[in-house]
Amino acid sequence: MTDSAQPLAEQRRTLILEQVRTRGGVRVTELVRELGVSDMTVRRDLDALARRGLVHKVHGGAVRMEAPASREPGFETKAGWELPAKEAIARAAAALVPPGSAVALAAGTTTHAVARHLRAVEGLTVVTNSLRIAELLEQPDEDGSPATATVIRTGGVRTPSDALVGPVADQAIRSLHVNLLFLGCHGLSAETGLTSPNLAEAETNRSFLQSARRVVVVADHTKWDAVGLASFARLDQLDVLVTDDGLPAEQREASARLVGELIVAPAAH
């Protein structure tokens, strides 16, 4: 495959993955018709997604990977999921932050996207348990000028998703007080609230909740009804939920009833 064809292939595979996650499974014949490509092209795309552990191939198509509740994908794996939705969510979430604020960013790929937008906000003090977010906020600007945010790393034990968790992180976080907390999650629902596949990370997230005056959760529509091993917050504990316009109407209504404020950011499609 040539370099020029690669972006198109990745766009197709993102669309296929979205269909699998939404519908539970797809058939090759349906994808050929919907994408306007050959049977062989669709099968190559499914092979590529299966090799990355994102779908399970079956006769005539592919189905969603049913991950154990304790399975925790790495940062690089999650970073490529739902990019348009994450970008829309991040932009809307960052707009909530006034200059000079003290904010906390819990680890995650969506909070990492928020951090990219926060680089433009002057005078921030940022507490984070994410190695990726700390590195991003400490990088100089493209013109060589130093970053303006003061970054406080919590310390702790590193997880597969590059979060720092455990008693050291928890103690550091509980001793601090921030204006805003940006929090991601593995999954959320009206029944289970926010969940994580990692017990220690769930406890660290509870510490973040105790340290914040205002809690903002950033989660795209695919997180709804996904369930991790441990719950760490109820939806009615959230001041703001920022999601994308892929969230179905029924889930929007359920969210709006429980959270303080629901912000639905339109994603580029």
User: What is the per-residue pLDDT for 229?
Assistant: 87
- Domain containing residue 11: 3-64
- Same domain (yes/no): 149, 243: yes
- Same domain (yes/no): 125, 18: no
User: What is the per-residue pLDDT for 83?
Assistant: 87
Question: Is 211 inside a domain boundary?
Answer: yes
- Same domain (yes/no): 135, 257: yes
Q: Which of 28, 44, 64 is the last residue of a domain?
A: 64
Tell me how far CA of residue 245 lies from CA of 103, 222, 242, in angstroms. Answer: 26, 11, 10
State how many domains the chain has.
2
- Same domain (yes/no): 119, 224: yes
Domain containing residue 225: CATH number: 3.40.50.1360
- Same domain (yes/no): 47, 82: no
Q: Which of 31, 64, 97 is the last residue of a domain?
A: 64
- Same domain (yes/no): 53, 154: no
- Same domain (yes/no): 146, 38: no
- Same domain (yes/no): 13, 86: no
Query: Which residues are paired to 158 by β-bridges?
Result: 164
Question: Is 70 inside a domain boundary?
Answer: no
Domain containing residue 27: CATH number: 1.10.10.10
User: What is the per-residue pLDDT for 2?
Assistant: 43
Distance CA 240, CA 229 (A): 23
- Residues 6 or more apart in contact with residue 253 via CB below 8 angstroms: none
State the sign of the Cα–Cα–Cα–Cα dihedral 183, 99, 245, 73: negative
Query: Which residues are paired to 194 by β-bridges?
Result: 188, 233
- Same domain (yes/no): 35, 155: no
Question: Is 37 inside a domain boundary?
Answer: yes
- Same domain (yes/no): 36, 105: no
pTM of the model: 0.74
- Same domain (yes/no): 33, 84: no
- Same domain (yes/no): 133, 17: no
Question: Is 69 inside a domain boundary?
Answer: no
Task: Supply 150's token pair.
Answer: 């003061």
Strands (E), 72-222: 102-105, 125-128, 150-153, 157-158, 164-165, 178-183, 187-189, 193-196, 212-218
pLDDT along the chain (269 residues), means of 10: 55 87 83 91 89 78 68 65 90 98 96 96 97 95 88 93 93 97 93 92 97 97 85 97 91 93 89
Strands (E), the chain: 25-27, 55-58, 61-64, 102-105, 125-128, 150-153, 157-158, 164-165, 178-183, 187-189, 193-196, 212-218, 230-233, 240-244, 261-265
